[in-house]
Amino acid sequence: MAFKSSSLPVVLLALILPVFAHKHHDHISEEQANAPVDSILWIHIVLQAAVWGILFPVGMVLGLSRSKWHVPLQITGYLLTSAGYILGHAHKGRAFLAGAHGKMASILLVPIFLQLALGVYLKLHIHEKSIRPYAVIAHGVVGKAYPILAWTQMLFGAIAFRGYCRGDDLGQCLAHYIMGSGFIAYGVILALLLLVGETWIRRSGRSPEWWDSWVITLWGVVNTFTEHRGSVWSVKDMQHTILGVLWWTGGILGIFLARNNQRTVVPSVIILLTGWAMSEHAQALMISTRVHAMFGYTLMLAAVTRIIEVCFVVPKYPPLETQPVSDDNHSDHTLADAQAVASNNALSQVYVAFRHLPPFLLVCAGILFMSATDQELRFVHDEGMDHVTYVLIMFSMAFLIYMLIVGLIHLYTISGRNSPSNGGDAGGSIELTSPNKWYARVPDAEENNDNERTHIIGEEED
């Protein structure tokens, strides 16, 4: 009952949120658009960025590691985001046109309500054999979607704040923000695979490049048929369309070569060629040309470091075989598991520093590409900032984002069931000796009695 009473304020706040919503403006005057930003709006921005960018991702990780701090942290996040929602509709000063940020704020109420309801239901520990297993899966899926939803809403917020991506500029914004976010997501997944995912890779029987090649192929098919509009082909249309062709043709080759758990450099070569093409991409402003060039160089460097990782650091991921050992050994782990863990520990010593380069550079490339829209660079040009300062600002943001990524990964390795006090590795690595399960139900009274009888008989035999 303690959990239900503690969640009551969240429910009440969530129910009254629509009352505080104000009308979004379809038309605003120049004076309203250029009015100063008041302190309430700044508090809203900082608070929501902290909650959705840090607090909720930390809570998600603590939920994955089954930490006791997961529920208190999520409740705190719900309370703070409710306050931030109210502040976002109560500010004065600058007015904003109706847009995706305001609509997304209302849409986010759905996963918030759903996650809260599922959390309360799971705490009741009812319907163990029927509904609860599906509720656990739904709770996990919604929780893992929070970082994606947060990233999307924060982007919409930045766009609304600057008044970008309207009219003819919408298409370019979509291209830059979707592709840039895709590179950042690529870096996150690669960081997971390289830092803590070796055992999963070995168990899956698929090399990382098999998955890479499939994503590149599907993305290339979409780009091939969406980059050109109208009857006239511009130089940019031709370049973007042929990049789509490059991706799906190269991706098919990568899928074939990566079969049977083989590693291949084809995905890296595709990224390398994409970086080269972007570095030569003609732009209207000199600062835009140089920022695009830096994006291309960064992407090329990410590809080169990935090629080195594939060819020289970890040329093969042997499948993880599990052969049972003798009963006389009284071991909870198999011999193959022990060898895999030993191999993993030895391997981690070889590339403990180098393994961060490919994902970090992908994050840098994503940030640079997202910051290279015409509207953003026209503003930077008008402010008198040079490309060097601007690029260094973007790299600074990339450092912070990658710090958050590896910080969350590290938190997972030392919290909850992975903490040293619960038998985890104090060094921060994860030993996975059996597939993780979505759900393990609470044993009923009859099963508890059977376990107690088995335990007593075992003690008598000893």
Same domain, 123 and 189: no
Q: What pLDDT was estimated at residue 8?
A: 43
Same domain, 62 and 89: yes
Q: What pLDDT was estimated at residue 194?
A: 84
Same domain, 312 and 420: yes
Residue 388 placed within a domain: yes
Same domain, 143 and 178: no
Is the overall model pTM greater than 0.85, yes or no?
Answer: no
Q: What pLDDT was estimated at residue 434?
A: 39
Same domain, 272 and 415: yes
What the block records as the tokens of 160 is 């609304």
Residue 459 placed within a domain: no
Same domain, 140 and 157: yes
Residue 293 placed within a domain: yes
Q: What pLDDT was estimated at residue 316?
A: 79
CB 145 within 8 A of CB 58: no
Residue 452 placed within a domain: no
Same domain, 180 and 157: no
Q: What pLDDT was estimated at residue 451?
A: 52
Same domain, 158 and 195: no
Residue 457 placed within a domain: no
Residue 460 placed within a domain: no
Whole-angstrom Cα distance, residue 173 to residue 370?
Answer: 8
Same domain, 301 and 340: yes
Mean pLDDT (10-residue bins), the chain, 462 residues? 42 43 55 69 90 93 91 91 82 73 88 91 88 92 92 91 84 87 92 86 88 91 78 79 93 93 93 92 84 94 93 79 47 45 52 85 96 91 92 96 95 88 55 42 51 49 47
Q: Last residue of a domain, which of 133, 163, 193?
A: 163
Residue 175 placed within a domain: yes
Of the candidates 196, 203, 208, 211, which has an alpha carbon nearest to the alpha carbon of residue 355? 196
Burial 93-130 (b: 16+ CB within 10 A, else e): ebbbeebbbbebbeebeeebeebbebbebbeeeeeeee
Domain hosting 56: range is 1-163
Same domain, 159 and 242: no
Q: What pLDDT was estimated at residue 226?
A: 76
CB 75 within 8 A of CB 425: no
What number of helices (H) and strands (E) belong to the chain?
19, 0
Same domain, 347 and 217: yes
Q: Last residue of a domain, which of 163, 179, 196?
A: 163
3-state secondary structure of 283: coil
Count of domains in the chain? 2
Q: Last residue of a domain, which of 141, 163, 185?
A: 163
Residue 448 placed within a domain: no
Whole-angstrom Cα distance, residue 40 to residue 187?
Answer: 35
Same domain, 78 and 183: no
Q: What pLDDT was estimated at residue 93?
A: 67
**Side-chain-side CA neighbours of residue 247 (13 Å):** 23
CB 406 within 8 A of CB 196: no
